[in-house]
Amino acid sequence: MISERNFTASMKTCFKEDKAIIGMLHLKGDDNNDTFRRAVREFEIYRKCGVDAVMVETYFGTYSQAETMLDYLRKNADGVTYGVNCLNVDAMGFELGNEFDCDFLQIDSVIGHVKPRDEESIAAFFRLYKEKYPSLFLMGGVRFKYQPLLSERTLEEDLITATGRCDGVCVTQNATGEETDMDKIVSFKNILGDFPLYVCSGVRADNVRRQLSVADGAVVGSFFKDTFKDDGEVCEDHVNLLMNEVRSLRESLR
């Protein structure tokens, strides 16, 4: 267990509330203008409902669409924490995060997704970019959905390595919207100790209290949609439903 170090200060610098909830901006739209309008609408719903942070992700959208929305957030976030995930091109996530004054960055895998021969290269990549952009709070996936598992090491060994490459570990099940198994969350946390852990798939109003009794925060996308699927529309009622559970949990922990 990685328990002798205290990571609370850096986590609180990025996320102002305990058990932070990060709402996804998936950049869905028919064209550039529609994508931007939708993302702004989603952001305003998240802000109104008290979601702690938002993440712009090139999930349905493109790099240039991410730039447009991040530029909007830089000018209009007004204290709301925001970050970015540039899928499949990790270096550009760092570059976007720096250019648009993001508070945090997510990368879907920081360990285990490359062949053992390439481990030195990926370690050098994270050393280089963490030193280049030290103010970005990096959330990094381990055994993450859709990522290849090529590691020949144990989960404990990979998680310990991950703590040197990122500032918080992300855990998921196998697919977008699929509930992350509590046994997996607990096994990660038992190894990580005080090191931050974020659940990044399948968080819902009916499981968020249970999952955040162990984890330090969550990334939520599908549950916030009207269809409870990633390609739906962000629904204010769904956002309020989950955030009310989170506020109740925080109150019980005070």
Beta-bridged to residue 169, according to DSSP, are 140, 197
Tell me if 181 is assigned to some domain. yes
Query: What's the number of domains the chain is made of?
Result: 1
Record the tokens describing residue 206, joined without a space. 């009916």
Where residue 175 sits, what CATH number does that domain have?
3.20.20.70
Tell me if 1 is assigned to some domain. no
The whole-number average pLDDT for the span 11-26 is 92
Give Cα 69 to chain centroid, integer Å. Answer: 17
How confident is residue 7, by pLDDT bands cut at 50, 70 and 90?
A: low
User: What backbone torsions phi and psi does residue 104 show, to the nearest 5 degrees?
Assistant: -150, 170
Strands 81-85 and 168-171: unpaired
Tens of pLDDT, residue by residue over 117-153, are 999 999 999 999 999 999 999 999 999 999 999 999 9
136 vs 99: CA distance, rounded Å? 11
Backbone Cα Rg of the chain: 17
Residues of the domain holding 115:
8-253
Please count the residues of the chain: 254
Tell me if 2 is assigned to some domain. no
Tell me if 110 is assigned to some domain. yes
Strands 197-199 and 168-171: parallel
pTM (2 decimals)?
0.94
Strands 104-111 and 20-25: unpaired
Does the CA dihedral 162-167-172-175 come out positive or negative?
Answer: negative
How confident is residue 112, by pLDDT bands cut at 50, 70 and 90?
A: very high
Tell me if 58 is assigned to some domain. yes
